[in-house]
Structure 1
């Protein structure tokens, strides 16, 4: 069924050429018996490529709609929507003898963690690996397939409603492509990482993906999604309180944040600080929410007004950089591009925009660029540039670094 003879459908699984179209698609797995058989087979493989299709437009948490998996000689699609018991799948994700290969793994891991409390390990993320090998910042799966395998992965069905049934053959073929091409992408990237000795460069990024804290969002931090610049202390306090209340409500009801209260409404309430339903109902952006959520909104406003001023976030954190710091950031950005080009690595993996801003503002900031393998490659050079011990210039029409 799902265990396919490669000669019947595709080239051998480690060959970088899927020239032949699949003659037939494996049956979609909808029973726990077939799922267990599949997962038992995959448990005997050195790795499994994994992808999920999900929807979250109408929910707070993503709704799992489809699971795709592949390994040498194996490819399968699993339909979880008939209330399928996915315990064999989650057991496979927890099996440390099998490497789990994803592309841009964060949302897939979030779903597995949300549903089963399992973090797939050991983990290989082909997007991160591609960054370490100079294939650009956050390269898409389709672009990576094109670059490494010289194949086009049709993205026609990328944005469809994967919860609708039945799924047609073209949709299933597209879904399978997300894991079948991934086998060869993984093989190529893994080989290149071993050749260049860059495998340790991935460890910090993978550690973030496999940390359960990455997927736990504290409602008390929800204000960080909103803009506080230019707001009074009272307004900032109300925004913090409303954002936390909205996050809790969205989590409890499993609905999008905007369905509880839109950002525009939070800003308007923060501006006027209403203390009665009558005053609240006069606010245009909140009017439709007063009947169902008015009391809760007013309780949040009262809590905000009673908040200790020392607990209100400082708007200064959102102030623009000074002219001098901005100029330093630009120089650091040029240095980053030069070093990245020399190393053939994605700039974003060496240092983020936030790293550059903190490097420009502080002498010894706590940033990833000054830790681990990044420090000797870029961090020390950034500090030397700031301290006048290193200069940037042009050599043979390219930016070059000159020690002073």
Structure 2
């Protein structure tokens, strides 16, 4: 099937009825963000039962008619590893398309591992080897070459058959609702918005700071986030993570001390030096009760260690019964938090609670941490994964 290249309003409007005619649409994006804070949507690929199209947003004045279709709640949007594509669409139109069927999530629920790539999935399910020669394309440059358009179109061309097979297999195994639950989390707007005051959590190495240092880092990271947002430049172009950490550690009190910190270049010092010193001083003057904190990881010992081992056996046994990775049910860190008294862990929500979480709670409430019976799969039937 020949793929369409859509770069005019008339061509886009002609495509939309075909998109509305099916209950699903395969979707992918190509974008650039190496030089920007926000992702720049450069190409949007869609496919249905009888078409494959690459839509060029750089040649179109408005994508609003297209977004109206993508935001239709009666049309399932099929993507692979959907998070980044959804982030791009959220930035482009301010909303998130739902419902979503993520074929990477579906693959994990069907036992293919948690992070299988699109090319590997197409190879495994369809026996097709995808051409990856255009993976380093600068998608913002025009004109696009036929090979680039064909490469982009393949990202949705085979997604259709992958979706059909996974949908049928999920239904056969009684796991369709699992997919629905996990994909619903992908379209939570909170995943795609972050308050500047929380940006310090993103700074690599923040776990190594303590006390007032974290208060300083919070102030500096919030400033950087706002600057990067306003200028639409990558965070590292404003100030690198390691420089923020060093500023938080040393808390310079004057321009000379600020200038001696590695990564504080002359331009930054001249334009923002006084303001950075003000931020540092204000953060250091905050009451101790307002300082952020990092809870150090406390490894369980004694009876808690025995409980953790028993929980891992429950999770591993049930994952083995279901033919999925144990980490898909719960990470070791989740189990550590569970033993430590936390109850806001994925294992205790939705389908995970039904297939393993209830057994985990029963184990924790028991008088001892001896052997426990592993529950049967949630549908009560032997799983047919193997």
Name the structure 2 match of 1:189.
Answer: 166
Contact kept in structure 2, 1:45 and 1:71, CA below 8 Å: yes
* Counterpart check, 1:293 vs 2:272: yes
**Which digits, 9 at most, give the CA deviation of each residue in 1:31-62, with x for residues without a partner?**
11111111222111121100000011111110
Deviation at 1:306, TM superposition (A): 2.1
SS in structure 1 opposite 2:142?
coil
Contact kept in structure 1, 2:32 and 2:139, CA below 8 Å: yes
Contact kept in structure 2, 1:53 and 1:66, CA below 8 Å: yes
Deviation at 1:140, TM superposition (A): 1.1
Change (3 A) 1:205 1:299: farther
The runs of 5 or more residues in structure 2 that have no matched partner are 374-386
**In structure 1, which of residues 305, 309, 321 is the aligned counterpart of residue 288 of structure 2?**
309
Contact kept in structure 2, 1:277 and 1:294, CA below 8 Å: yes
Name the structure 1 match of 2:236.
Answer: 258
Name the structure 2 match of 1:347.
Answer: 326
SS in structure 2 opposite 1:28?
strand
Name the structure 1 match of 2:371.
Answer: 391
Contact kept in structure 1, 2:307 and 2:369, CA below 8 Å: no
Contact kept in structure 1, 2:199 and 2:222, CA below 8 Å: yes
Name the structure 2 match of 1:157.
Answer: 134
Change (3 A) 1:297 1:327: farther
Contact kept in structure 1, 2:37 and 2:234, CA below 8 Å: yes
Name the structure 2 match of 1:244.
Answer: 222
RMSD: 2.2
Say how many residue pairs are matched: 368
* Counterpart check, 1:92 vs 2:69: yes
Contact kept in structure 1, 2:99 and 2:184, CA below 8 Å: no
SS in structure 2 opposite 1:65?
strand
**In structure 2, which of residues 185, 189, 192 is the aligned counterpart of residue 215 of structure 1?**
192
Distance in 2 (alpha carbons) for counterparts of 1:192 and 1:111: 30
Contact kept in structure 2, 1:70 and 1:76, CA below 8 Å: yes
Deviation at 1:365, TM superposition (A): 2.0
Change (3 A) 1:146 1:26: closer
Distance in 1 (alpha carbons) for counterparts of 2:131 and 2:291: 49
Deviation at 1:163, TM superposition (A): 1.3
Matches within 5 A, 1:4-403: 9=1, 25-226=2-203, 227-288=205-266, 289-315=268-294, 317-324=295-302, 329=308, 332-362=311-341, 365-386=343-364, 387=366, 388=368, 390-391=370-371
Deviation at 1:242, TM superposition (A): 0.7
Contact kept in structure 1, 2:76 and 2:100, CA below 8 Å: yes
SS in structure 1 opposite 2:6?
coil
Name the structure 1 match of 2:377.
Answer: none
Distance in 1 (alpha carbons) for counterparts of 2:194 and 2:210: 26
Contact kept in structure 2, 1:280 and 1:286, CA below 8 Å: yes
Distance in 1 (alpha carbons) for counterparts of 2:56 and 2:353: 46
Contact kept in structure 1, 2:28 and 2:85, CA below 8 Å: yes
Change (3 A) 1:180 1:229: closer
Distance in 1 (alpha carbons) for counterparts of 2:120 and 2:290: 46
Deviation at 1:261, TM superposition (A): 0.7
Distance in 1 (alpha carbons) for counterparts of 2:371 and 2:146: 58
Deviation at 1:144, TM superposition (A): 1.1
Change (3 A) 1:140 1:353: farther
Distance in 2 (alpha carbons) for counterparts of 1:142 and 1:109: 20
SS in structure 1 opposite 2:10?
helix
**Which digits, 9 at most, give the CA deviation of each residue in 1:87-121, with x for residues without a partner?**
12101111223221111111111111111122112
Deviation at 1:299, TM superposition (A): 2.3
Distance in 2 (alpha carbons) for counterparts of 1:121 and 1:172: 26
